[in-house]
Structure 1
Amino acid sequence: MTKLASQFGRALSAELGPDFSTHQVSNDVVFRHLNPSLLSDCFSWGGLNEILSRGSAVPADFFLCAQGKRLPEHQYKTSLDGHQVFDLPRVFALMRSGATLIIDSLDRIHPGVRAATDDVMRITGETAACNLFVTFDDAQAFDSHFDEVDTFVVQLLGTKHWKVHGPSEEFPLPEYGDSDPVNCPETTLFEKTLVPGDVIHVPRGWWHTVRGGGETSLHLTFTFTRRTGYDWLRWAARQALSRAEIRESLDRNASPEAHQAQLERIIEAFLGEAKDLPLSDFFAAERRAAGGRGLASLPWDVSRARPSEHDVVELAPVLPPLIHVAGDQVIITAKDQEFALPAQHHPTIEALITARRLTVAQLAAQAGTPVAAVSALVVALLQCQLVTVSHAGPTHQDIQ
């Protein structure tokens, strides 16, 4: 695994240990406690105030919930110069009345949360996102419910009371599952008031009841979506497109006997292809398609000037790309594309994938390559959107 980006990610990975991914993920409630000071890079009141002061959280999704329902936007937004913006006095009044503020996909707009979310993807190997919940007193945003994704819940500030009840059905999906609160099991498997630094893993489909702990609460929920048999079936169906029986038009007006015959041909063709499609091929295809967030690296994106030895280069794909040497070339596979570079750059690329983020001079030293050659390589990788470049200086991340 490439080096983790955030203090939170490194601490969480160390606390979870190898047993989590082997035995506990999706199967058990897992409780851990991190040093609250390690969460300072993730989010704070200052980060929230900055978002609210902008008047918009786009492209993240900002909303308020109370008593299990999402409140209509007209209750807390107003029009300004043709744009919908937060009406802060109304937002605060609704929160004083018991509404919970929620920002879905906070990782899209906040660098510290983005770094932590990317680390969750590196730890789990799955697609992840992060949502913020802000609660005062003992407010409750949702009735008892389950999520169709696995989660890490991280208490940043204040307290939040959690009850986890377990599942009422196996492996629900957004496309399949009954989340009516009447189905919530009565048994409580885990109950705790979370304090800053507390982290719990709640498996997909496990019901939970959550309310404020009687004071202010900020918590982040990192969701990660594990692949299922349904995902494999959709992928396998695409692989079977080479078979004419799969591409053939369905005969709407045929007889029942003809319909059955065509159905049997389709099933036989699909099974003929699917039996030779192991799960390892599916995971390998996902890895080849993995990319990054498409972050900007101005001025280099436009000027294409070579970065200096003090500038910082960072691997853009969240998961490390696949690389192999073929003759006199090193091939990098990411975003469903292959990028061929002279094989002499192999040590530099390996060093970058391992370290993930370092200065040009540090990369050159680790690869045993001249700074000028590394700087030229970075320009080529930047054009392929495989790295980002930034000026050296203090950031929310370490440059170790």
Structure 2
Amino acid sequence: MAPTVETLTAPTADPSHHEWLVRRQPHPDAPGLADLVDDVEQFRAHDVYRQPRVTSPSRRRDPARFADPDALWSDLLGRSTRRPGFRLVREGTTTDPGRITRRARIGNRDLTDLAAPNEVIDGYRGGATVVLQGLHLTDPALARFANNLALDLDQPVQINAYLSPSSARGLDIHFDYHDVFVVQLEGTKRWRVWAPTERTRDPIGGKHAIPRPTLDELGDPLLDLVLEAGDVLYLPRGHPHVAETTDRASSHLTVGVLAITWHRIVRQAIDAEVDAGRLRSSISLSALGPDGVGSAPALATEAPTVPDLTELPLDLRSLRVRRWIAREIWSRQASTRLRPRCPVEPAVADGPLVIAPGPVITLSRSAARSQLFVGDRTISMPDEAHPFLAALLLAEGPVRRTELPGLDEASSAVVTLRLLDEGVLVAHRPEPVR
């Protein structure tokens, strides 16, 4: 995955005119979307949100690129993992947490939710699947993987792991309220996937109150296959499925795409319009008559078609909506672009610099200030720095501050040191010649 830059104006336009600029700088040592699907363009244009897909055996991935099951076990059993970071499930039933946790004391505080390693192992030996949750927040390598995928998709991403003994079934037939990539790490697992039912087709995330489908109402599955190490299965939300191990133990990741839905975007756009003084006029008289207040705009039911909202004066691409989307995505992701632990020497600002990989970077203007959003915080600078910042984000490779327009010598040094101190920039270190 290569760095990308997107802007609302032409790339050759004066940088000072950029209203909104997005820089994606992925982690080069972590997977991304291209590692999960056979054809990225095919997936984005035809598969996403619509239909299950499994990678072809000829393009089976190296599972070690994603995660090491032994390392996952070691972290669980040796680092005092706390709930809800883990749970055990067998035949559709979650093990009572009291059976697999222990108490401990740190200072004057009692902890009651630590993993009890031997009890966890006993449960696993007895046929329970160990579920590790929120690994994108606790495992550094998986945090980089999740962030790369979030950069690819502009959607929040979470990662869980399922460690199953042989001949075991963890969850019953169910459906997820978000899209999932299943990455088989070791062993084998049989998956059956059905078409969505009427009630599961567009489940609303957060409610989780829709009854699970049963075999009697599902009919024949769309897919009935066994995943082997390196296989990847994509499941859109709402597709009922069940998984069970064969005669071999299995470990797999579930990479959840917690897609932002249209109703939330529309709400943000409406709030922005109201705050701007619009949408405040009175509705027509005789609203209860045969004509009412006018026909409501039709919303598309098949993602990812944009809903037809032309009858309402909503700007779904306003800066406010864009900023909200960026915050909504990256508030859920790990901060993988870190500030240096020690102050940066001023001389570093005079050398070749590159943008550090990590969460998305956006540049916009607000209240006569330039706002640089970097995933976990917003860096505010005087507006005169805007052309300098825009040129920096548009730079394709290593760059020196003296090559960037918009600021005098002293000001460019101050801004560059600030960005080095924030971890946005790092010194360029060429790869050694071999």
TM-score by shorter chain over 0.5:
yes
Does 1:277 find its partner at 2:308? no
Report if aligned partners of 2:175, 2:212 keep a CA contact under 8 Å in 1: no
By how many angstroms is 1:69 displaced? 1.8
Counterpart amino acid of 1:165? W
Q: Distance in 1 between matches of 2:33 and 2:362?
A: 20
Separation in structure 1 between the aligned mates of residue 341 and residue 79 of structure 2, nearest angstrom: 25
Residue 231 of structure 1 aligns with which residue?
264
TM norm structure 1: 0.74
Q: Which runs of 5+ in 2 are unaligned?
A: 5-23, 281-287, 297-308
CA contact (8 A) 1:315 1:388 kept: no
1:137 maps to which of 166, 180, 193: 166
In 1, distance between residues paired with 2:347 and 2:182? 39
Q: How many residues matched?
A: 358
1:69 aligns with 2:93: yes
Any conservation in 2 of the 1:297–1:390 contact (CA below 8 Å)? no
Q: AA paired with 2:394? A: E
Q: Show the counterpart of 1:208.
A: 241
Aligned pair 1:29/2:52, yes or no? yes
Aligned pairs (5 A) from 1:29-108: 29-33=52-56, 34-37=59-62, 39-57=64-82, 61-81=85-105, 82-83=110-111, 84-108=113-137
Q: Does 1:179 align with 2:208?
A: no
Structure 1, 39-48 or 122-131: larger mean CA deviation: 39-48
155, 172, 178: which one aligns with 2:184: 155
Q: Which moves more between the two structures, 43-52 or 161-170?
A: 43-52
**Cα deviations by residue, 1:108-148 (Å, 9 ceiling, x for unpaired):** 01111111111221222211111111101021111000001
Provide the secondary structure at the position in 2 that maps to 1:205. coil
Q: Is residue 381 of structure 1 aligned with residue 419 of structure 2?
A: yes
- Pick which of 126-135 and 61-70 moved more: 61-70
- Give the secondary-structure state (helix, strand or coil) at the position aligned to 1:280: coil
How far residue 232 of structure 1 moved from its aligned partner, in angstroms, is 2.6
> Quick one: percent identity of the two aligned structures?
19
TM-fit CA distance, 1:228: 2.1
Match of 2:32 in 1: 9
Correspondence for 1:167 among 184, 192, 196: 196
Match for 1:284: what amino acid?
Answer: R
Aligned residue in 2 for 1:199: 232
Instruction: Name structure 1 gaps, 5 residues minimum.
Output: 248-259, 356-361, 395-400
Residue 356 of structure 2 is aligned to residue 314 of structure 1: yes
TM superposition shift of 1:208: 0.3
Instruction: Tell me the residue number matched to 1:220.
Output: 253
Deviations 1:297-332 (A, max 9, x none): 3414xx45558569985144x2342468xx9x9764
Quote how far apart the aligned CAs of 1:286 are.
3.6
Q: Deviation string for 1:254-283 (max 9, x for gaps)?
A: xxxxxx9xxx99xx9xxx999111433376
Q: Deviations over 1:56-105 (max 9, x none)?
A: 157x6211111112212111111122323221111001001111111111
- CA spacing shift, 1:307–1:202, aligned 2, 3 Å: farther
- 2:103 partner letter: S
- Call closer, same or farther: CA 1:376–1:46 in 2, change over 3 Å: farther
Distance 1:156 1:32, change over 3 A: same
CA 64–386 in structure 1, closer or farther in 2 if over 3 Å, else same: same
Superposition deviation, residue 221 in structure 1: 0.7
CA distance in 1, matches of 2:120, 2:386: 56
Selected match of 2:175 from 135, 140, 146: 146
Name whichever of 197-206 and 2-11 sits farther off.
2-11
The answer to whether the Cα contact below 8 Å between 2:33 and 2:40 also exists between their aligned partners in 1 is no
| 3-state SS of 2:67 partner | coil
- The residue type paired with residue 224 of structure 1 is V
Structure 2: distance between partners of 1:238 and 1:171 = 24
2:394 match: 350
| Paired residue secondary structure (2:32) | helix
Question: Aligned partner of 1:191: which letter?
Answer: D
1 CA distance for matches of 2:274 and 2:364?
Answer: 28
Higher relative contact order (CA 8 A, sep 6+): 2
Paired AA for residue 226 in structure 1: A
Query: 2:14 matched to which residue of 1?
Result: none
Which has the larger helix fraction? 1
Provide TM-score, normalisation by structure 2: 0.69
